[in-house]
Amino acid sequence: MSAAEGPLVVGVDTSTQSTKALVVDVATGRVVAKGQAPHTVSSGAARESDPRQWWEALSEALGQCGEPAHEAAAVSIGGQQHGLVTLDGRGEPVRPAMLWNDVRSAPQAERLVAELGGAQGWAERTGSVPGASFTVTKWAWLAEHEPEAVRATRAVRLPHDYLTERLTGQGTTDRGDASGTGWWASATEAYDEETLAHVGLDPALLPRVVKPGEVAGTVREHHELPFSRGTLVAPGTGDNAAAALGLGLRPGTPVLSLGTSGTVYAVSRRRPTDPTGTVAGFADARGDWLPLACTLNCTLAVDRVAALLGLDREAVEPGHTVTLLPYLDGERTPNLPHATGLLHGLRHDTTGGQLLQAAYDGAVHALLGALDLVLEDDADRTTPLLLIGGGARGSAWQQTVRRLSGRPVQVPDARELVALGAAAQAAALLTGEDPGAVARRWNTAAGPVLPAVERDEAALRRIGGVLSDAAPLLARNPEPR
């Protein structure tokens, strides 16, 4: 391994399934070392993880990085959004963290929307209409079902906050991740006192919101990780905001991320306020905004269908009659938290490959339907759609997105964009640059552009028609036990 040309930084992605760490050369953006360790997530209706395993996974991932991690001058942690971490007076978890894809709080979400100004009021105040993914709904669920846990809680954190605090000893978060809680008002860029009072959450339990470019703290003693005391710690941010940093994203460029969840987003200079709840009005990590639409069912749902059929995930075949809505874990876009998968149009000659292609189509359809709402009205529709995430390099995913979007698609060569975005944020502490400019200097978005193909309007109409006809049935699915 050649010597670094500049100082080194560490960028971390603590996601739903694993923690990844990259050691990056600030001067060139070259990844000089990397590591990864898995997490355990409970199955069933409850999607929970013990936050302490995130710390253990971070330690293991950094250990795999070897000596370069010891040389890092700054570190930043990006992480899964929305998760509810409750800590006692010793900083230990009161209970497992409720993750973003835990939809048990759907009834609380509906109640909170109705009780605090309706969808329009929520959109104007916080930028988003909260669904079951949002942290505020999980706190409301906890207060209703586990009041003893609420009484024992002395600090409320998001997943990336928990790791940052264990590094620095200070409770901090950033505007990007705070904007996904439901109790941070995008209109004022501060915690919303009315919302907190309504759900019985003392604002003293919440972390300080660190400004973009501000140092969140320094590494303290006795932290068990390979960092020197005094190493700078950046604010960190949520995973989508970190990926936007990692791409050096400019306003108007659309991104479609294919991971455990599927997301569509773009940087905007205007604060989003969508009263339909389709677009979440998140803040980005720089001072702009990150309107975003998210689905619960993406790569995992399609892989599950492939496994049920006994097929390789690329073994798709064209078909024109079958429609599959792969809502295996409920759904967020559209907002159907208790929905189950739905298959329509099955015929005697339908093949397994056609069923698998229908699963891809169903997963992509909802995201593309939200794309026009995410983008500015004057956005250039010829701008390539950046395809990122675990599914981005799969041929079936690429061709499905091209066929249903009618847009050119660009697949960045850079991997682990969340961790790269966190690394750019850490690097900016050292250089004084905008972290987006750091990523653009690193040329992280470079990659092949697949030309546009004619949009498959017939497939879009067919899927949309099935969804419309089935909406009452999907909405009546019973709440999971």
Residues known to be catalytic: 239
Report the 3 state secondary structure along 212-266.
Answer: CCCCCEECCCCCCCCCCCCCEECCCEEHHHHHHHHHCCCCCCCEEEECCCEEEEC
3-state DSSP call for residue 293? strand
Q: What is the dihedral of CA 356, 357, 362, 367, to 10 degrees?
A: 120
Residue 414: CB atoms within 10 A of its CB come to 18
Query: Which residues are registered as beta bridge partners of 218?
Result: 232
DSSP category for residue 81: S
* Alpha carbons 291 and 272: distance in angstroms, whole number: 6
Q: What is the dihedral of CA 167, 168, 170, 173, to 10 degrees?
A: -70
Side chain identity at 172, as an amino acid letter?
T
Beta strands at 8-14 and 72-79: parallel, antiparallel or unpaired: parallel
Q: Quick one: tokens of 369?
A: 């339907």
* Alpha carbons 227 and 72: distance in angstroms, whole number: 7
